[in-house]
């Protein structure tokens, strides 16, 4: 009796696994069909082609180019602008944004440190947390060597 119950439960479990496997295969097949449908749709619709100008692409390819209405003027200064100066190393920057110390910040936010960055500048050691500098300690009291944490080494020196 016990053996019969165990065999029945094994058979039920196998049947359930087979059903789940069939459902999974059917779901995969449906996804693949949807993917193929979307690909075929994209191939037929020229507006979805990122390298063309949509339906006007063929017309534009056969027309001559239009000349520029006005010549371009390029400004060339007589002297290059002076290189940006690094920030004052004696000032404490705790609470300020994690921008570079030795290079100027820009509108694209390229010269900013990520959260978790630890470095030293001047006599202070900072850590960037939540996009703000957090004061850790002074350089002489930090537990590790601050030579490799120096901002000028870490940021690649001043932008010249």
The full DSSP string for 33-99 is HHHHHHHHHHHH-GGG-TTS-GGGHHHHHTSPPPPPSS-------SSPPPPPPPPPTTS--TTSB-B
Whether the full predicted model's pTM is greater than 0.75, yes or no, is: no
The pLDDT value recorded for residue 85 is 82
Which tokens hold the place of 83?
Answer: 């290189």
The pLDDT value recorded for residue 128 is 93
Q: Residue ranges of the chain with pLDDT lower than 70? A: 1-2, 46-77, 81, 157-160
The pLDDT value recorded for residue 18 is 94
The pLDDT value recorded for residue 58 is 52
């Amino acid at each position: 009796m016990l053996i019969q119950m165990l065999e029945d439960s094994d058979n039920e479990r196998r049947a359930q696994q087979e059903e789940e496997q069939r459902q999974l295969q059917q779901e995969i097949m449906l996804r693949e069909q949807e993917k193929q449908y979307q690909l075929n749709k994209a191939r037929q619709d020229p507006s979805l082609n990122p390298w063309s100008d949509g339906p006007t692409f063929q017309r534009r390819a056969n027309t001559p180019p239009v000349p520029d209405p006005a010549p371009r003027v390029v400004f060339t200064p007589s002297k290059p602008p002076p290189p940006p100066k690094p920030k004052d190393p004696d000032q404490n920057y705790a609470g300020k944004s994690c921008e570079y110390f030795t290079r100027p910040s820009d509108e694209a936010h390229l010269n900013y440190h990520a959260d978790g960055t630890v470095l030293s500048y001047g006599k202070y050691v900072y850590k960037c947390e939540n996009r703000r500098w957090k004061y850790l300690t002074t350089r002489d009291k930090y537990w590790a060597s601050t030579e490799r944490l120096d901002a000028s080494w870490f940021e690649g020196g001043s932008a010249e």
